[in-house]
Amino acid sequence: MRQAGKWLAVVALTAVLVPFENPVFSNEPWSLTVSAMAQSVEDRKVEADRLLQQGVEYAEASQLREAIQHWEQALMLYQAIQDRDSEGRTLANLGGAHYILGNYSLAIDFYEQGLTIARERGARGGEAYILNGLGNAYFGLGSYRQAIAFYEHSLTITRAIRDRNGEGHALGGLGSVYDRLGDYQRALSFYEQSLELARQMGNQDSEANTLGQIGYTYGQLGQTQQAIDFFEQSLAIAREVGDRVSESSALTSLGVSYVTLGQYQRAIDVYEQALKISREIGDSRSEGVALYHLGNAYLWLLNYQEAISLYEKSLAISREIGDRPGEGSSLGGLAYANVILGQYHQAFQEYQQALSIARETGNRAEEGLLLSHIGFLLAEQNQLELAITFLKASVEVRESIRGDIRGLDTALQQSFTDTIADAYRFLADLLLQQNRILEAQRVLDLLKVQELDDSLGGVRSTDDTSGSVAFWPMETDLLALYNQVIADADELAQLQAADYDSLSPTQQQRLSTLRQRNADVQRRFTAFLELPEVRQLLAQIRQETEGQNLAIETQHRALQNNLRALPQKTALLYPLILPDRLELVLVTADGPPLRYPIAVSGAELNRTIVAFGQALKNPRSDIQPLAQQLYGWLVAPLEDALAQAGIESLLYAPDGALRYVPLAALHDGDQYLAQRFSLSHITAVSLSNFDRVPDAHRRRLLAAACAECTFTVNVGDRAFTFEDLPYTETEVNTLAAQIPNTRVLLNQGFSRAELENRLGSYSIFHLATHGAVVENDPRQSFVVLGSGEYVTLEDIRRSWNLNHAELVVLSACETAVGSAELGSGVEILGLGYQIQEAGAMGVLASLWKVSDQGTQVLMGAFYDALGQGLTKAEALQAAQNALITNDFSAVGGTRATGELVEIATGQPLQSRESRNLAHPYFWAPFILIGNGL
């Protein structure tokens, strides 16, 4: 049941979701002592207590204005009879009520008066309560750093006096502040502590509030369904305890989630319910929240005028109550609507006002979003140099947020990345359009590191892939100039709002100067672009970027030096999938990087990739039409440059769904790419160590097989079932015969302990066993051992020492190649990254499952070629060519024999098919990730 005298504070408005504020209480411990007074004093005391209690009852019924009237009368009586304890308690209640109504300055005034009394009377519980209320009020004003100080002080006191409810409120307040500052990991930590305390104390009000706060954070991280789950729990509790403020908040937050899911009418329905409640209880803050989000819903329904009307109403409320975050949200909504309507100057003005507020309050998520919106707007205006500069600034802010959430669950990190990756891609797109290829290459590297880090956690950036974009000095100057323009405009607005006669002579002179510099304040976009300093900086950027003399040129030269050091003529290929085209970037050892825009949409490319993947998994398919189509997009445009440079080997840094494409299986009409080039994929690790040469003289092989491998492995809510691999025993025994000093681990002998005991003694680890790449959680991708155990790639990365390993072979794992719903392919990058991070130079793994006897044929040829002194990439190419041509003489061996079985059907192949292994089904699944030497 709900405790008497308890009520919740209202929510704070932001641009994305509706955050819940932490609760305050009217029945915190105060030391109430009534001295003996005359009968008239006692009567006034009784009357004051009655008014105080009636106010509490009105507050519980969410009739705050009536509560305030009763408390103001009680306050006068308490002051008259000098009842300082009750006076302080009433001041605290008035502060809380005015906070809920959005009267923040008045709330702070009441709280500060109450705080003085609490400290005078030594009421530690009351002091902590009021400090928490002050944190709420400053939070409402967007003064987050001040709010933190009050919450922390409150937390210290509540813990000292063992006030568990108060401790929970302070923790919730800290969570909400860190959430707005973009430190989602710390926010969730505070929320979880607060929720645990609320449940321990049976405090349903606080529980409902904290559930809403957690839902808000999950929404910020892109986890919409999880957010909905938390909001629904919060709504159920709020209705059960009759808390209309929290009910309104939960409804509005649900509406935001429905908009994210494209359910706009459903969102409008719950927004209108929330709006009705907020108006009934006089909750101005919640009213502004609901109006703003209603505007968003109508915007998505293309009813722009209605959206603008709602944004303007929300803006008026935010300004009236001093809600700076809410003001920024409404301005951002108006700006977005005006962009759609082509009102660019007005939109730019509103964006920069919102940006100023986001910086003032320290809301990094909002700052990053607004900078990206400004970049998109400038690109729409064909101001590409400016657009690039603002998008770089956006990436810089978002990288700082990403650095603070590395301890969160992998799925949360990945979903956050999904919410911001478009800005990275758009930036790379614009850079490529400007032929600023080195900078685009850096953004692509950054995105790859980001995807890996978000999926795996703790990815170590190299100097070439550090978590930052590179700014030209002119771009830095341009941003500084723009920030000064914003600061000048804000200062001008403040000075103009003041009584001129009240200004000092210095302020009056400053006002005159600012008016001259901002003669057209209402058209700041034009004014900014027309500043002579801006025109000069833009001219410098256009001139100097053509020379590509940014600091990253040093890194590019180092990359080219690495390419020159390789034994084969090698080029590095970066593809970037964009909605309207495919971009190819080719880096060779000599000359500048080359850019090739390809006219194929991302949707068409993905459809072809899916069809190609499905055909690759069928040994009877006609693969060449699709293989030639992809070749035409990915390789044909590079033909002249590859031929001119004499390229023999390609390093491949694929993007998105292209990670599911084995480049070796592409066909030029005469032959497969595997017949022309040796190939290897690179990751964030191998980007800077692909030229490291292994010591072939110290090569020793450990070959492990799981022939009796009928196991079921449960990972999360998924069950992976595996069957025996009878030919793997022959596979590893054949390798032992081929390569001296080979150690074989078989079935039960292939255990985790036996394997880990030998990690430092071998340079090649050949694991002929089942493996699964887990798309939704690459860290949990795993390898099955013959003992029935399994080891995840996360285990390998964190606990295995593979510093002496030049190669790890996973000869029977499987990814999502050919699936109708393609992911980002990051799990394939992760497969190589995890093992490389443990110290291995390279990984050879399969993209789909091949008959194990067919794998034996390819592996035998690979090791034969490796034994002849070929590099790993060359050996893989030679083995693939042996299967394509059925000529094994080039690898110094003969083809292994035996019955081949088609994995999809489990049926033996016909004798003619068994003799012909030219189909990519047999040889293309194996890709080399990392160092190919």
Average pLDDT over residues 756-771: 85
Domain range for residue 220? Answer: 6-362
Give me the helices (H) in 405-504, please.
Answer: 410-433, 437-456, 473-497
Interacting residues of 295 by C-beta distance below 8 A, sequence separation 6+ = 306, 307, 308, 309, 310, 311, 314, 330, 333, 337
User: Which residue would you say has higher pLDDT here, 549 or 399?
Assistant: 399
Give the rounded percent of residues in the chain with a pLDDT score beyond 70: 75
Q: How many domains does the chain have?
A: 3
> Which string of DSSP letters, residue by residue, matches 622-680?
--HHHHHHHHHHHTGGGHHHHHHHT--EEEE---GGGGGS-GGG-B-SSSBGGGT-EEE
CB atoms within 10 A of CB 763: 19
Give me the helices (H) in 711-792, please.
Answer: 727-738, 752-757
Q: Which amino acid does the sequence have at 253?
A: S
Q: By the 8 A CB rule, do 284 and 320 touch? A: yes
| 677 and 700 inside one domain | no
DSSP state of 381: T
* Structure confidence at residue 412 (pLDDT): 58
Alpha-carbon gap, residue 580 to 575, rounded angstroms: 14
How do strand 712-715 and strand 701-705 relate by DSSP bridges? unpaired
User: Which residue would you say has higher pLDDT here, 764 or 519?
Assistant: 764
- 202: tokens are 């049976």
| 601 and 730 inside one domain | no
Residue 131 pLDDT > 60: yes
Interacting residues of 54 by C-beta distance below 8 A, sequence separation 6+ = 70
Residue 389 pLDDT > 50: yes
Average pLDDT over residues 384-412: 77
Alpha-carbon gap, residue 822 to 798, rounded angstroms: 29
* Structure confidence at residue 854 (pLDDT): 67
Q: Which amino acid does the sequence have at 609?
A: I
Q: Please state the separation of Cα 579 from the chain's center in Å.
A: 20
770 assigned to some structural domain? yes
* Structure confidence at residue 846 (pLDDT): 79
Nearest residue to 81 (alpha-carbon basis) of 46, 116, 31, 125 = 46
User: Which residue would you say has higher pLDDT here, 294 or 739?
Assistant: 294
* Structure confidence at residue 134 (pLDDT): 93
316 exposure class (CB count in 10 Å sphere: 0-12, 13-18, 19+): middle
Average pLDDT over residues 328-340: 91
| 703 and 849 inside one domain | yes
Residue 566 pLDDT > 70: yes
Q: By the 8 A CB rule, do 186 and 144 touch? A: no
Q: Please state the separation of Cα 355 from the chain's center in Å.
A: 21
Q: By the 8 A CB rule, do 220 and 184 touch? A: yes
* Structure confidence at residue 27 (pLDDT): 39
Domain closes at, from 362, 396, 420 = 362
How do strand 701-705 and strand 764-768 relate by DSSP bridges? parallel
Query: What's the pLDDT band for 102 if we cut at 50, 70, 90?
Result: confident
Give me the helices (H) in 683-839, please.
Answer: 727-738, 752-757, 793-799, 826-837
* Structure confidence at residue 461 (pLDDT): 41
Interacting residues of 886 by C-beta distance below 8 A, sequence separation 6+ = 895, 915, 916, 917, 918
* Structure confidence at residue 837 (pLDDT): 67
Average pLDDT over residues 789-818: 74
CATH number at residue 744: 3.40.50
137 assigned to some structural domain? yes
Alpha-carbon gap, residue 441 to 114, rounded angstroms: 59
Q: What is the pLDDT of residues 158-212, one digit of tens each?
A: 999 999 988 999 999 999 888 888 788 888 999 999 999 989 888 888 888 899 8
Average pLDDT over residues 735-747: 86
Q: By the 8 A CB rule, do 848 and 814 touch? A: yes
Name the packing angle between helices 437-456 and 826-837 (round to 10°): 80
Domain closes at, from 327, 362, 397 = 362
Distances in Å between the Cα of 510 and the Cα atoms of 353, 488, 500, 506, 518 are: 20, 10, 12, 6, 12
Comparing 270-274, 534-538, 559-563, the range with the smallest average pLDDT is: 534-538
Q: By the 8 A CB rule, do 465 and 684 touch? A: yes
User: Which residue would you say has higher pLDDT here, 842 or 448?
Assistant: 842
| 158 and 272 inside one domain | yes
Residue 574 pLDDT > 90: no
787 assigned to some structural domain? yes
* Structure confidence at residue 442 (pLDDT): 74
* Structure confidence at residue 406 (pLDDT): 65
Nearest residue to 683 (alpha-carbon basis) of 343, 428, 382, 932 = 932
- 833: tokens are 């990254």
CB half-sphere exposure, 443, CA atoms < 13 A: 28
* Structure confidence at residue 260 (pLDDT): 85
| 582 and 611 inside one domain | yes
* Structure confidence at residue 856 (pLDDT): 74
406 assigned to some structural domain? no
Alpha-carbon gap, residue 899 to 903, rounded angstroms: 12
Helix, strand, coil shares of the chain as percentages rounded to 5?
65, 10, 30
Q: By the 8 A CB rule, do 358 and 342 touch? A: no
Residues in the chain: 933
Average pLDDT over residues 875-884: 89
157 assigned to some structural domain? yes
| 717 and 677 inside one domain | no
155 assigned to some structural domain? yes
Highest mean predicted confidence (pLDDT) among 97-111, 667-681, 690-704, 825-839? 667-681
Instruction: Report the predicted TM-score, pTM, of the whole model to 2 decimal places.
Output: 0.60
Alpha-carbon gap, residue 467 to 163, rounded angstroms: 43
User: Which residue would you say has higher pLDDT here, 425 or 637?
Assistant: 637
Give the rounded percent of residues in the chain with a pLDDT score beyond 90: 18
**CB under 8 Å, gap of 24 or more: what pairs does 184-190 form?**
184/217, 184/220, 184/221, 184/401, 184/404, 184/405, 184/408, 184/412, 184/416, 185/404, 185/405, 185/406, 185/407, 185/408, 186/404, 187/217, 188/214, 188/217, 188/408
Backbone angles phi, psi at 470, to 5 degrees: -100, 130
Distances in Å between the Cα of 598 and the Cα atoms of 584, 631, 741 are: 8, 12, 50
| 20 and 122 inside one domain | yes
* Structure confidence at residue 449 (pLDDT): 47
> Which string of DSSP letters, residue by residue, matches 506-547?
HHHHHHHHHHHHTTTGGGHHHHHHHSHHHHHHHHHHHHHHHH
Q: What is the pLDDT of residues 138-155, one digit of tens each?
A: 888 778 888 999 999 999
Residue 541 pLDDT > 80: no
Distances in Å between the Cα of 145 and the Cα atoms of 11, 261, 583 are: 18, 34, 44
| 662 and 733 inside one domain | no
Residue 156 pLDDT > 70: yes
DSSP state of 102: T
| 651 and 718 inside one domain | no
Average pLDDT over residues 468-493: 70
Mean pLDDT of the chain: 78
Distances in Å between the Cα of 7 and the Cα atoms of 49, 56, 336, 555, 849 are: 18, 8, 37, 59, 60
Query: What's the pLDDT band for 16 if we cut at 50, 70, 90?
Result: very low
Interacting residues of 446 by C-beta distance below 8 A, sequence separation 6+ = 395, 399, 424, 465, 466, 467, 468, 469
Average pLDDT over residues 594-617: 88
Domain closes at, from 332, 362, 392 = 362
Query: What's the pLDDT band for 669 if we cut at 50, 70, 90?
Result: very high
* Structure confidence at residue 22 (pLDDT): 38
440 assigned to some structural domain? no
| 877 and 808 inside one domain | yes
* Structure confidence at residue 368 (pLDDT): 87
CB atoms within 10 A of CB 638: 18
Comparing 35-44, 78-87, 92-101, 162-171, the range with the smallest average pLDDT is: 35-44
Alpha-carbon gap, residue 885 to 861, rounded angstroms: 13
Alpha-carbon gap, residue 901 to 160, rounded angstroms: 71
400 assigned to some structural domain? no
| 672 and 749 inside one domain | no
How do strand 582-587 and strand 594-598 relate by DSSP bridges? antiparallel
Please name the residue that has the structure tokens 């067919």: 854
Nearest residue to 285 (alpha-carbon basis) of 55, 5, 20, 16 = 20
CATH number at residue 609: 3.30.420
| 817 and 878 inside one domain | yes
- 808: tokens are 């790890």
Average pLDDT over residues 294-306: 92
Residue 39 pLDDT > 60: no
